[in-house]
Amino acid sequence: MQTVQPTSPLKVYQEDPLNAGTPLEYVPEAFLTPSDLFFIRGHGPIPQVEPATYRLVVKGMVQHPLELSMADLLTRFPQHTLTATLVCAGNRRDELAAIHPLPGEILWDADPISTARWRGVRLGDVLQAAGIEKEARYVAFRGLDQARIAGELVHFGSSIRLEKALAPEVLLVYEMNDAPLPREHGFPLRVLVPGYVGVRSVKWLQDITLQSQPSTNYFQARDYKTFPPTVTAETADWERGKTLEEIALNAVICTPKSGETRHAGPVLVQGYALTGEEAPVERVELSTDQGVTWRPATIREKTDRWAWCFWEAILDLPAGECQIIVRAWDTTGKTQPKDMRPLWNFKGYANNAWHQVQVSLV
Ligand SMILES: Nc1nc2c(c(=O)[nH]1)N[C@H]1C(S)=C(S)[C@@H](COP(=O)(O)O)O[C@H]1N2
Ligand SMILES: [Mo]
């Protein structure tokens, strides 16, 4: 069994496998999440990998299959550093579960999200070195960890389209916040797919396979897809589910938290906003009248293309109960949906409806 340190400030949802969120009150404190506060999402026990004997295998539709040691990776390919946010597709699942139960799922608050500075080599450079055959369309990843699915052990795996795999932001990373990747985050090597939901950033990377079809791995083919609200676990045709890729435009209030009591008068409201690869966040707005009128928040930190941005506002709130709502807009004029009901799906993914907190002012 894997456990976090008893002193860890992470919010543990599950001990085995270990699943823990970054407490929201810490988020506005640090644009780069300290590694011991970085959320952890795992589907099986955390593997122990010996870096000296570790080999990354590149196979499938390639001209020269590769077997690379960590030293090969570090010496044969240029190294790159990039700041990126990882967010789980199950972010804000607890709100969806309040509409209709989501049995068997981890009911994350808005906390499976963190940002780090990563260092690694471009996946595209490694694939070019292997020689991409022209029939290849997808890049499949397999992790060294195994999850128990219906009584059987299954390696964690996932795939992305070749086009995204060749994008300069997609890295094979071995450092997080200027230190070796911590064990729980994929030591010695993981994939980092900025702009996509976290599940595609496979940890403890064992092999990469170029192929003509998406991965048939359980976690790609039978999980991490969305369906209309009418579809249930019993009626789902997984072939027809929508594969989760790009992060949806989202904004969250980190402080105050729902249920908090504050003094009436000026109240500092802080949070994060983020988007995928399409267009950056441009504006964040707050409403205290159910979305009739909105006032802009100040974006106080927005420095990296692939990272969240931080925003804040001081609201002058009278005594009584108050609901504060947030929404973001991107540079193409797109905003978030108001209503959560049309977004409900039986796995509880991709909730990006307006986020709100209830506060008492005295
Ligand atoms: N090998 C492996 N990779 C994995 C997972 C996993 O369980 N096993 N979980 C995925 C999911 S769902 C998410 S959200 C991110 C979480 O990364 P973190 O634990 O470093 O925060 O890792 C992804 N990569
Ligand atoms: Mo995830």
**Beta strand 205-211 pairing with 56-60:** parallel
pLDDT tens digits along 20-47: 999 999 999 999 999 999 999 999 999 9
Within 8 A by CB and 6+ apart from 291, the residues are 325, 327, 338, 354
pTM confidence score: 0.97
Protein residues with C-beta less than 5 angstroms from the ion ligand 2: 41, 88, 198-199
Q: Transcribe 21-90 into DSSP letters.
A: E--GGGGGG-SSPPGGGS-EE-SSPPPP--TTT--EEEEESBSS-EEE-HHHHHHHS-EEEEEEEEE-TT
Separation of CA 349 from chain center? 11
Which residues contact residue 124 at a Cβ distance below 8 angstroms, ignoring those fewer than 6 apart?
165, 166, 167, 168, 170
The answer, yes or no, to whether residue 6 has pLDDT greater than 90, is no
Q: Which ligand is nearest to the CA of 86?
A: 1
- The overall average pLDDT reported for the chain is 96
341 Cα: distance to centroid of ligand 2 (angstroms): 21
Q: Which of 336, 329, 331, 328 is nearest to 279 (CA)?
A: 331
Nearest bound ligand to the CA of residue 47: 1
Q: What is the mean pLDDT of residues 304-324?
A: 97
pLDDT tens column, 134-171: 999 999 999 999 999 999 999 999 999 999 999 999 99
Ligand 1 binding pocket mutation candidate from 174, 176, 203 (most atoms within 8 A of CB): 203
**Contact 251 CB / ligand 1 (< 6 Å):** no
The rounded Å distance from CA 132 to ligand 1 centre is 26
Centroid of ligand 1 to alpha carbon of 185 (angstroms): 7
Mean pLDDT over 218-238 rounds to 96
User: Is the CB of residue 90 below 6 angstroms from any atom belonging to ligand 1?
Assistant: no
